[in-house]
């Protein structure tokens, strides 16, 4: 059985279908998504349909969590338990209102991480704090981390760096969330968000049965398969930094 791990899809159903064709996905494969299946792209509901059809495992991303939080807060407001409607952008509000009960069930049951000991790896959406056990990582870290602040030799807080650059496994961490750097290949971490919804590529890691992720970057690249985006689907209004420090 192969294990296929797919980066951030963000509603790009056509590119996802093309990527699955490119890797010759079959019912005997195990398919895992790093999260952020929905929002920003043209067909979030279609992506969720593909997930159900393939029996895939979905790690929870920050966009899935945003929808769940809004839905729960709105219900509290309707019950009179909250003073104001929960704030949310129009894109996410429209998407939340279009979700079907089967879609909510999929989002609500998605885990914050998936351990694959036979491959020596853990799949998360965004990142992990170096030096903290996976089961002790806060959910916000797993869903939103991009960088950590490293300390200087004198103990002072220094610059922010990509968390994967200072994470020392095992296990290998496979993640998404941060499209700005493009493909990330660190010694013990592999970032698969290659910005499909922004006109980049949708990328997957394909592992054979019980295959470990190579530490050698050239060999690791051979496990990656990408599908170019059909077009630019979303242009962010501004760049944000979701930074959590050690």
Domain ranges of the chain: 3-228
Residues 6+ apart with CB under 8 A from 173: 121, 122, 123, 124, 127, 128, 164, 167, 188, 189, 190
End-to-end CA distance of the chain: 37
| pLDDT tens sequence for the chain (246 residues) | 999 999 999 999 999 999 999 999 999 999 999 999 999 999 999 999 999 999 999 999 999 999 999 888 766 655 666 666 667 888 999 999 999 999 999 999 999 999 999 999 999 999 999 999 999 999 999 999 999 988 766 545 678 899 999 999 899 999 999 999 999 999 999 999 999 999 999 999 999 999 999 999 999 999 999 999 999 999 987 554 444 433
Helices 44-54 and 101-108 sit at what angle, rounded to 10 degrees? Answer: 70
**Domain 3-228 = CATH 3.60.21.10:** yes
Q: Is the pTM of this model over 0.75?
A: yes
């Amino acid at each position: 059985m192969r294990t296929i791990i797919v980066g951030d899809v963000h509603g790009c159903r056509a590119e996802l279908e093309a990527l699955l064709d490119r890797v010759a996905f079959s019912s005997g494969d195990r398919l895992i998504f790093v999260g952020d299946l929905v929002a920003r792209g043209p067909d979030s509901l279609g992506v969720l349909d593909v997930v159900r059809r393939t029996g895939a495992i979905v790690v929870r991303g920050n966009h899935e969590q945003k929808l769940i939080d809004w839905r729960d807060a709105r219900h509290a407001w309707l019950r009179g338990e909250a003073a104001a409607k929960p704030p949310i952008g129009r894109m996410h509000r429209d998407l939340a209102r279009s979700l079907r009960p089967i879609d909510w069930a999929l989002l609500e049951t998605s885990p914050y991480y998936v351990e694959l000991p036979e491959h020596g790896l853990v799949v998360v959406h965004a990142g992990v704090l170096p030096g903290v056990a996976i089961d002790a990582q806060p959910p916000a870290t797993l869903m939103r981390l991009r960088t950590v602040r490293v300390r200087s030799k004198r103990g002072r807080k220094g610059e922010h760096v990509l968390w994967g650059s200072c994470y020392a496994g095992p296990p290998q961490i496979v993640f998404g969330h941060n499209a700005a750097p493009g493909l990330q290949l660190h010694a013990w971490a592999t970032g698969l968000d290659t910005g499909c919804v922004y006109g980049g590529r949708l990328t997957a890691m394909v592992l054979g049965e019980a295959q470990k992720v190579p530490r050698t970057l050239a060999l690791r690249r051979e496990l990656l398969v990408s599908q170019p985006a059909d077009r630019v689907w979303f242009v962010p209004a501004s760049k944000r930094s979701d930074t959590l420090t050690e």
